[in-house]
Amino acid sequence: MADTKLTLTIAGNDASGGAGIAADLKTFAEYGTYGIAALTTIAMMDPDNNWKHNVTPIDAEVVRGQLKTATAGPKIAALKTGMLPNVPVIEVIAETIREHSLENVVIDPVMVCKGEDEVLNPENANALRDILTPLATVATPNLFEAGQLSGLGTLKNLDDMKKAAKIIHESGAQNVVIKGGKALDGNKAIDLFYDGNEFTVLETEKIEPATNHGAGCTFAAAITAGLARGLAPKEAVLKAKEFVTEAIRSGFEYNQFVGSVFHSGYRLSKQESI
């Protein structure tokens, strides 16, 4: 029998398939792990209204029920959280992680979707910091989220990112990746890894056009699956950066509003075409 590694995502659905549970499950499969999912939100983007986002929450007790199902199988090798609608859902997740002593926990503290600058739910930011960040093996905020979690506000350069990473580590995350991506000025996509001892800067050329809807979820999901496969946090992050870079490179224009990553890009780039 194969040594099947279960990977769980607790996240929202993006019906365009680039971000959310679709991104996570596809990434988990690319890594050869067995993906399972508990749904927390349904995100809708309206093509008739400039791709405006609208988020429907799933009731916390329904999330609890799904997590009961998800934890009723073999031991979960790693899990990630994504878009979480409110504090009760965040609390249910923290209780489940504790009750089942779940390990390899990746907290992707989703606060905004790309192109939207309204924070999903302001009190969520504090709950993510106080309740979930202390349980994180790896926390994976983007630049905006790292500014919020650290209380430093807008992060403008690598030095700011380092300060934020330290503060988030002090909040209890064992390792922190700040997904700067293409957000900083200049021609490099820069992410920062911090394990409490040393900083590692992950740098690639920016890819144009930036077909990167779903890149943040995919990056975090790849880290999760890497941990499930037994990689140490830093190795998992380095591999995930390669994985997400290929996913962006092989992305495509979904419509006039967004370009999406293609989660199979890494495998396809290594594979001869038939």
**Residue ranges in contact with ligand PXL by CB under 6 A:** 11-14, 19-20, 43, 82-83, 110, 113-114, 216-217
Q: Which is nearer to ligand PXL, 57 or 82 (CB)?
A: 82
Residue 84: CB minimum distance to ligand PXL, A: 9
Q: Which is nearer to ligand PXL, 144 or 266 (CB)?
A: 144
Residue 100 contacts residue 64 (beta carbons within 8 Å): no
Residue 13: CB minimum distance to ligand PXL, A: 6
Residue 107 contacts residue 135 (beta carbons within 8 Å): yes
Helices (H) and strands (E) in the chain — how many of each? 9, 11
Cα–Cα distance for residue pair 269/236, rounded to 1 Å: 19
Residue 1: CB minimum distance to ligand PXL, A: 34
Residue 133: CB minimum distance to ligand PXL, A: 18
Q: Which two tokens stand for residue 138?
A: 């790896």
Q: Going by DSSP bridges, is the β-strand pair 252-253/259-260 parallel, antiparallel, or unpaired? A: antiparallel
Residue 35 contacts residue 7 (beta carbons within 8 Å): yes
Q: Which is nearer to ligand PXL, 11 or 143 (CB)?
A: 11
Amino acid at the residue 158: L
Residue 59: CB minimum distance to ligand PXL, A: 17
Q: Give the CB-nearest residue to ligand PXL.
A: 20
Q: Which two tokens stand for residue 228?
A: 């499930």
